[in-house]
Amino acid sequence: MTRNGRVWLSVFFWAFVVYLFVPLLLMILMGFKDSKFIGFPIRSWTLDWYLGVFDNGEVIATFGYSLWIAVASTLISILMGTWLALLLSGRRFVGRFAVYALTLLPALVPGIISAIAFRIYARQIGIEPGMGAIIWAHAVHNVPFVALVVMARLSTLPKSLGEAARDLGADPLVTFMRVTLPYLKPAIIGASIFCLLLSFDDFVRSFFLGSYEPTLPVLIFAKLRSGMSPEINAISTVALILTAVLGVWAERSSRRMNREN
């Protein structure tokens, strides 16, 4: 690469960093402002907003609610997605392409459209808005990501590995549990983290399918409408830090697993 090219590249990179982190930094800082209104200048500082987050029963409950939805929907999408990936990577069968297309479809439909569709359909078949409906919508939305990640991993599984297990006395089920599944583990863990974050972060589906109990993004949205206060910044920052920790941990553990394999 030419010298000029390198300079431009680093300019773009730093522009990207500024674009990404300055708003976050402002958000974090604003949570320390000792005033009811968001905006510069910050004359005096306080920890009250942050401490308030951990004191606020509503926020804590919403946090737990969101987490519970994330975990439940992730479990469902992992089971469904892995099963579909195995089905699609295995023996050919009639209608395979149709199953493949249907598996990927939820990733392609815009969130707002699928959210409204889910809402209408849920009412038709008598599903009440609330946790179940949100979990259902999140799970369906996340299945394609799981299926794609697991299929990519499966395509690198040497055929001889399963044969070696059979050769050494493992029936098909034991082969799956002791060889195939451990081989898929890094992909499944990676996909789980991704699903957790997607679900935790989702607003549109949770908004349309929720009842009176809000998920965290919905709560933040509701609070925004009733006026901007540094409390929102503090809540968002705590959520940000938790998801970032989860992301970094996932990245490191998947890197460790790759080293082993």
Partner 1 sequence: MTSEPIVRLEGISKAYGKAQALHPMDLTIAPGEFVTFLGPSGCGKSTTLRILGGFETSDTGRIILDGQDVTAQPPEKRKVNMVFQDYALFPHMTVAQNISFGLELKGLGKAEIKQRLDEVMSFLELAPFATRYASQLSGGQRQRVALARALAPDPALLLLDEPLGALDAKLRGQVQMELKAIQRRTDKTFLFVTHDQDEALTMSDRIVVMNGGRIEQDGTPEDLYFHPQTRFVAEFIGATNLIDGTVRGLDGAAQEVVLDWRGIELRGQAPAGAPQTGQEVSASLRLEKIALGAERPATRNAVMGRIVDKTFLGSRVAVNIVVPEAGDALLRAYADSDVTARLGDAPVWLGWDSHALSVLRH
For partner 1, which is the closer residue by CB, 20 or 181? Answer: 181
Tell me how far, at minimum, the Cβ of 41 lies from partner 1, in Å. Answer: 56
Options 95, 171, 212, 226; binder of partner 1; rule CB under 8 A: 171
User: Does the N-terminal peptide bond of residue 41 adopt cis geometry, omega within 30 degrees of 0?
Assistant: yes
Q: Quick check: 256 binds partner 1 (CB under 8 A)? A: no
Tell me the longest C-alpha to C-alpha distance in the chain: 73
Options 125, 169, 212, 225; binder of partner 1; rule CB under 8 A: 169
Q: Quick check: 160 binds partner 1 (CB under 8 A)? A: yes
Nearest to 208 by CA among 218, 220, 222, 196: 218
Q: Quick check: 183 binds partner 1 (CB under 8 A)? A: yes
Tell me how far, at minimum, the Cβ of 180 lies from partner 1, in Å. Answer: 11
Q: Quick check: 176 binds partner 1 (CB under 8 A)? A: no
In the block, residue with structure tokens 């583990």? 185
Q: Where are the alpha helices (DSSP H) in the chain?
A: 3-30, 48-55, 57-89, 96-108, 111-124, 131-154, 159-167, 172-175, 181-201, 204-209, 216-225, 230-260
Q: Quick check: 168 binds partner 1 (CB under 8 A)? A: yes
CB-based burial, 71-92: b 16+ in 10 Å, e otherwise: bbbbebbbebbbebbbebeeee
Q: Give pairs for 57-60: CB < 8 Å, separation 24+.
A: 58/219, 59/219, 59/235
Options 19, 158, 225, 226; binder of partner 1; rule CB under 8 A: 158
Tell me how far, at minimum, the Cβ of 253 lies from partner 1, in Å. Answer: 14
Options 86, 170, 246, 250; binder of partner 1; rule CB under 8 A: 170
Q: Which residues bind partner 1 (CB under 8 A)?
A: 158, 160-161, 163-171, 174, 178-179, 182-183, 185, 259-261
